[in-house]
Amino acid sequence: MNELGFIPVTLIPVIWIVAAYLLGSVAFGIIVSKLFGLPDPRTVGSGNPGATNVLRSGKKLAAALTLLGDVLKGWIPVWLALRSDMLMWVVASVGLAVFIGHLYPIFYKFKGGKGVATALGVMLALSPLLGLAAIVTWVLVFAIFRYSSLAAIMAAALAPVYAWFLLSAYKDYFITVLVMAVFLIWRHKTNIEKLLTGTESGFGKK
């Protein structure tokens, strides 16, 4: 039993992981859009309930709040797990659980977003330098090519490389970053096809 006297120690990691998944299942894009009186982001544009699709509504504040919410829900549980001295595998599992929750949310019939912002939050908690490297990659690629999807794909592809150098002493964390990168690229498979055929929509592009 733990110090509270009623929760078996063996159940504590399970509680952390399940709680992280449930938090990840909260879709801020849908919530914020409803608060702003905007269409459900799943019914417009790419159909993705993320900040980029919310931005297409023309409401920058709504998009910013969606981005912030999705980043924080990835950062908070991992940061708390670290500060609570959870074992490395538990922290890594918490990060992966909140990310999977965003992709396959139980509250929305397991149909979620692509997970870019939430993955960023997880990486920022694991290593601020890793998160910063991913942000810089995204910004540079987007500034040059003006495709949000391409920027996300490149940041995801390079994240494990950055993690290899920054988290080499933390195997479980590296695995979490690698798994998230694979999921991120796979979730962008339609965007990859459109980029290859020249039909992907970019910001500021005709």
Q: What is the pLDDT along the chain (206 residues), one digit of tens a residue?
A: 444 556 788 899 999 999 999 999 999 999 999 999 999 998 887 788 999 889 888 789 999 999 999 999 999 999 999 999 999 999 999 999 999 999 999 999 999 999 999 999 999 999 999 999 999 999 999 999 999 999 999 999 999 999 999 998 999 999 999 999 999 999 999 999 999 999 988 775 54
User: How far is the C-alpha of 147 from the C-alpha of 138, rounded, in Å?
Assistant: 10
pTM given for the model: 0.93
Q: Quick: pLDDT tens for 71-120.
A: 999 999 999 999 999 999 999 999 999 999 999 999 999 999 999 999 99
Helix (H) or strand (E) holding 28, with range, is helix 28-35
- Which residues are within 8 A (CB) of 117 and not within 5 positions of it... i.e. 6 or more apart? 50, 51, 66, 67, 70, 71, 74
145-156 exposure pattern, b = at least 16 Cβ within 10 A, e = fewer? bebbbbbbbbbb
CB of 21 closer than 8 Å to CB of 97:
yes
Is 78:94 a contact under the CB 8 Å cutoff?
A: yes
User: Radius of gyration of the chain from Cα atoms?
Assistant: 17
Distance between CA atoms of residues 53 and 63, nearest Å: 8
Q: Which residue has the tokens 């992907």?
A: 200
